[in-house]
Structure 1
Amino acid sequence: MDEHYFTPSPASEDRRFPLRVRLAGRDLELVSSASVFSGHGLDKATAVLLDRLDEITEPPPGARILDLGCGWGPIALTAALLRPDAEVWAVDVSERARQLTAENADGLGLENVRVVAPEEFPEDIALEAIWSNPPIRIGKQALHELLLTWTARLSPHGTAALVVGKNLGADPLARWLDQQLSAREVAKVASAKGFRVLEVGPAR
């Protein structure tokens, strides 16, 4: 398993470098590291999710939006840029990932991004949206526990959009989520380039 997936303090060298990337229709100058997931650019799955935000449920004004597994921050930064009214939470087990996301948010002047470790997330906060490229390769059991833990933090009207590769089990995961989250509808709302965007809907 790549250590960046579930290692709070990776042993690999933290080599920082400039990262030029386009998010929310803007060309940005950010910073990244080889020691975080897809450190050299926007990975294909995340790009599919961000390209299809108009096909998922739009969060309400003032929404709390969670980027689960933020890496260097592409989803959290996009959410904050598109929705300056939102309270964006970026969560990652990797200390380096959190540092990069915080540094990138600061560099863009985004004051609505809060970066925390999973255990630091306030217990009394209910989320209106989760946008995530979840860490599929951590293994089925760990992934299932992760998704159940965080979808339980959704408000009754909250939704979760997850991008998953078809070859990495998007369809079985959708069926499993639908079985586990019986109070919510799980649907495949978009498909592109070998990936599916799954959406966990509001409570019925």
Structure 2
Amino acid sequence: MSHYYDRNPEVQSDRKTFVYSYKDHKLNLTTDAGVFSKGKIDFGSDLLIRTFLKNHTPGPTKKIVDVGCGYGPIGLMLAQVAPYDHITLLDVNQRALELAKSNAVSNQLDNVDVKYSDGLGVIEENSCDVILTNPPIRAGKHVVHSILEDAHTKLKQEGELLVVIQKKQGMPSAKKKMQAVFGNVEVLDKSKGYYILKSSKG
């Protein structure tokens, strides 16, 4: 059986394109079978984007990493809203990476890099300002928690990790893990069972 966190999904291609909007920003996004949330943005990713952007002020260029980017809705919307920032999109799914690259091109976003990476493996230590993730819950708790742990080493001082996770799909244990790793965690927002958790590297 093929999963969205597989490197090469075996399901037959079935591409669909839709428009994703945030305020007056619009993205044309192409999705496909074998990638997460085909055909429309999932509620959790949308909540993560809106919560982050509500708290994100223009300023010096920030290096932002979207882990488990799928076809790119989180990272690409941030790239459009904040053209002064640089966004790196990471995934293991080759089909998702191809879509994220083509979606970046079709939306004329040049402040974006799309890379194959198992978790945060390709990111240098102490190199980024923000890490965002809608983690691959179905890949297992060990995968999710390894991303949370690794985020601490990859972030600069004062850097922030933002995670969206459903209460019924491991939010309490993720929150506990973030508290243990970072020494702090807060709930920025919650809606329909989804929580936006934030930890800062002090």
Q: Same fold (TM over 0.5)?
A: yes
- 2:89 counterpart of 1:90: yes
Provide the C-alpha distance between the structure 2 equivalents of 1:23 and 1:173, rounded to a whole number of angstroms: 28
Q: Which residue of 2 aligns with 1:153?
A: 154
Q: Which residue of 1 aligns with 2:106?
A: 107
Q: Which residue of 2 aligns with 1:35?
A: 34
TM-score by length of 2: 0.90
Aligned length: 200
* Structure 1 moving runs of 4+ over 4 Å: 54-60
Deviates more, 1:54-63 or 1:94-103: 54-63
The superposition leaves residues 52-97 of structure 1 with CA deviations (integer Å, 9 ceiling, x where unpaired) of 2255565852100011100111111111011101110000000111
RMSD (CA atoms): 2.1
Structure 1 pair 188/85, CA: closer, same or farther in 2 (3 Å)? same
- Which residue identity lines up with residue 173 of structure 1 in the other structure? A
Provide the C-alpha distance between the structure 1 equivalents of 2:115 and 2:100, rounded to a whole number of angstroms: 10
Provide the C-alpha distance between the structure 2 equivalents of 1:79 and 1:109, rounded to a whole number of angstroms: 13
- Which residue identity lines up with residue 154 of structure 2 in the other structure? R
Provide the C-alpha distance between the structure 2 equivalents of 1:178 and 1:59, rounded to a whole number of angstroms: 28
TM-score by length of 1: 0.89
The superposition leaves residues 91-111 of structure 1 with CA deviations (integer Å, 9 ceiling, x where unpaired) of 000011111111011111110
The superposition leaves residues 21-46 of structure 1 with CA deviations (integer Å, 9 ceiling, x where unpaired) of 22453233221112200011110111
Structure 2: give runs of 5+ residues left out of the alignment: none
Q: Which residue of 2 aligns with 1:22?
A: 21
Q: Contact conserved, 1:67 with 1:132, CA < 8 A, in 2?
A: yes
Q: Which residue of 1 aligns with 2:3?
A: 3
Structure 1 pair 41/92, CA: closer, same or farther in 2 (3 Å)? same
Structure 1: give runs of 5+ residues left out of the alignment: none
Q: Contact conserved, 1:188 with 1:199, CA < 8 A, in 2?
A: yes
Deviation at 1:15, TM superposition (A): 2.1
The superposition leaves residues 151-201 of structure 1 with CA deviations (integer Å, 9 ceiling, x where unpaired) of 32001111011111111121231112101333xx21111111211100011
Give the 3-state SS of the residue equivalent to 2:185 in structure 1: strand
Q: Which residue of 1 aligns with 2:201?
A: 202
